[in-house]
Amino acid sequence: MKYCPSCGKILEWRQVEQKQRPFCPQCQRVYYDQLKVGAGGLIEQDGKLLLLQRTNDPFRDCWNLPAGYAEIDESPLQTAIREVYEETGLRVKIERLVDIYFFADDPRGNGILIVYKCSPIGGKLTETLEGVKPTFFAANNIPKNLAGGGHNQAIHAWKERKHTQI
């Protein structure tokens, strides 16, 4: 951030709470960078995990869970339901929270990915503008080129859980 979102003045960098932070000399306000919040669905069928191949940067052509960033007016749970539908055509219900993954590898900023176990309740699995080749993968057949942004962590954790269940 270069300009103060309140008054438009150029921000200065100042030492605040043992860190360099953007500061507005006009408003006398410190601006704190915040984590991006994403949410998505872990959908299984016959013990296999649904993954999509991304069509957009970053991580174009990599495989990921159906997920995306939370809108300002929705909960992460609502985000997961919306993103799964937008990226797969499936209507889902949330079963439970799986885990939360911190990521620092996305050029759009650091964040957390909140992953929910989801069950389809309607719709039809289809390709979309954001994700193609929707495929259910067995734990021993997960693609190597996984998206960052917490997706790789969540997929590897799922794979580990599957291997310990055998």
- Could you give all domains of the chain from N- to C-terminal order, each with its CATH number? 1-33 (2.20.70), 39-165 (3.90.79.10)
Which contiguous run of DSSP H or E holds residue 55? none
Q: What is the pLDDT of residue 73?
A: 97
What digits encode the pLDDT tens for the residues 104-161?
A: 999 989 999 999 999 999 999 999 999 999 999 999 999 999 999 999 999 999 999 9
Measure the CA–CA gap between 132 and 121, rounded to whole angstroms: 21
- Quick one: tokens of 125? 């699995």
Measure the CA–CA gap between 116 and 88, rounded to whole angstroms: 15
Measure the CA–CA gap between 112 and 106, rounded to whole angstroms: 11
Measure the CA–CA gap between 9 and 23, rounded to whole angstroms: 10
Q: Is the pLDDT at 55 greater than 80, yes or no? A: yes
Q: Residue type at 141?
A: N
* H helix intervals, 34-150: 76-88
Burial class (CB in 10 A: 0-12, 13-18, 19+), 78: middle
- Which residues, 6 or more positions from 163, have their beta carbon under 8 angstroms from its beta carbon? 139
Q: What is the pLDDT of residue 166?
A: 53
- Which band of pLDDT confidence, cut at 50, 70 and 90, is reported for residue 164? confident
- Which residues, 6 or more positions from 2, have their beta carbon under 8 angstroms from its beta carbon? 10, 11
What digits encode the pLDDT tens for the residues 5-48?
A: 889 999 999 999 999 999 999 999 999 888 999 999 999 999 99
